[in-house]
Amino acid sequence: MILLQSLIGKSFYLNSDLIYKVEREYDTLITLIDQKTIWVRETPEEVKQKVVDYKREIYNQLLEVHK
């Protein structure tokens, strides 16, 4: 899960596997696979990097278990 901030500044975790697309409007709009939408403070690039970092962390943990 990735940590994001809503437009009012409230932090929340989002399951990154539920993201369908991320768009830049006036702010960043995340559309989920069920078509629900969430506006966040992070840029699309920041959201992407958070997802990459999270997936990398999971992958590295799996590698550690199998050593």
* pLDDT tens per residue, range 18-61: 999 999 988 999 999 999 999 999 999 999 999 999 999 999 88
Number of domains, the chain: 1
Q: What pTM value is reported for the model?
A: 0.88
* Predicted pLDDT of residue 55: 96
Q: What is the pLDDT of residue 67?
A: 65
Closest CA to 34 of 48, 23, 20, 47: 20
Domain residues for the domain of 17 are 2-65
> Residue 1: is its pLDDT beyond 80?
yes
Q: What is the pLDDT of residue 57?
A: 93
Give the per-residue pLDDT at 65: 74
